[in-house]
Amino acid sequence: MKNTRDMQAGTQPFHRETTVDSSAGGPVLITGGSGFIGTNLADRLLQCGRKVYLFDNLSRPGVEKNLQWLRTRHGNLLEVVISDTQDVQALSSVVKNVRQVFHCAAQVAVTTSVINPVHDFHVNARGTLNLLEAMRSVPDPPSIVYTSTNKVYGALDDLRLVANRSHYKPASTRIRADGISEMRPLDFHSPYGCSKGAADQYVLDYARTFSVPGVVFRMSCIYGPHQFGTEDQGWIAYFLLCALENKPITIYGDGKQVRDVLFVDDLVDALILAQKNMQSLSGEAFNMGGSPANSLSLLELLDLIEVIHGERPSVRFDGWRVGDQRYYVSDIGKFRQATGWTPRTGVREGVERLYNWLRTNHPSFSGNEKSYPGVEDYEILAR
């Protein structure tokens, strides 16, 4: 576990070089493409001249801002399909035009899944199956990278932990050094874990049974620009927004729970590399996150925000929530060995960049109260 000083010392200046060939591979479909991850991925691909089909129902608050930003930057290279993964006809219409699929569309919150498990199932499990069936109907199916979740491993209640003032850490020296590997047994926990886990397994089985090339990323905490965090999802962005708005933060549990965090630019590198290496990687699942080198607890994030913002957010505590993991850190060794990928953005640098982006771009702080277009202002290519 790194304290704030360690994070700062380990940070390197941000000069991202082109380490992956984003231009090869033909047209791309990104489901959930106006969401946080989809927007950053689409921008990278569009910058390299790739044709991108952005498939989204614009249901998440704030994503219309991301869509307008992409449209302004890239014009007609971006094709917008305003639809839902429950619409089989819309999926079939767009899938036949692309060579690669990045499946990011999802119901993203454990808490929402507990309130409405049926909706969660239809979006995450059935929506993914609809997409896979559309892909299977193409004579030469495109390849897919699916953004799954570490929640497929359950609450990790059997993981023996020790605690100090600020964080939990595993008693096992191996897990402390490397994190949780793909050898960990699956143990779907919460309706969200079940729906994402089912989709995870469908992608892997369609690669095996139907030769639909596919890779699964079981992701830890991703953060960065274009993220509109909420209390239920996107906790780093949410904590920063609360600090900027001078609002209290509710921490469920004791705040010592630990996650590894991955800056979105590093995730985009990994997503593109997975497609580039699809022939050798198809049918595999990879744990994807920042690794132990980029891990921190909720309390340690508050320490870092105090350094960056100059003031510590006020905090209140509540009980643990269903499916909460006291410790989850990704072992990224399998994907690193397969592709040479490794995260390059340190925690201090990444959090500070997100803080500055929110302060500059979020309407609440920047005075940038633009009128954003609604659904009717975009070309609807499929329904």
- Residues 250, 139: Cα–Cα separation, whole Å: 51
Q: Residue 376 has which token pair?
A: 């009717």
152 near 105, Cβ under 8 Å? no
- Residues 357, 353: Cα–Cα separation, whole Å: 6
Is 223 marked active-site? no
Dihedral over Cα of 75, 228, 349, 321: its sign: negative
With b meaning 16 or more CB within 10 Å and e meaning fewer, what string describes 239-271? bbbbbbeeeebebeeebbbbbbbbbbbbbbbbb
Place of tokens 């990704």: 330
Specify whether the backbone of 88 is left (phi greater than 0), alpha (psi in -120 to 50) or beta.
alpha
Considering 146, 192, 202, 327, which one is annotated as catalytic? Answer: 192
- Residues 28, 46: Cα–Cα separation, whole Å: 10
Residue 324 Cα distances to 153, 159, 162, 171, 344, angstroms: 11, 13, 17, 19, 28
With b meaning 16 or more CB within 10 Å and e meaning fewer, what string describes 36-67? bbbbbbbbbbbeeebbbbbbbbbebebbbbbb
Specify whether the backbone of 170 is left (phi greater than 0), alpha (psi in -120 to 50) or beta.
beta
- Residues 112, 120: Cα–Cα separation, whole Å: 8
Q: Terminus-to-terminus CA distance in the chain, angstroms? A: 48
Task: Indicate the DSSP class of residue 147.
Answer: E
Task: Indicate the DSSP class of residue 75.
Answer: G
Residue positions annotated with a catalytic role: 192
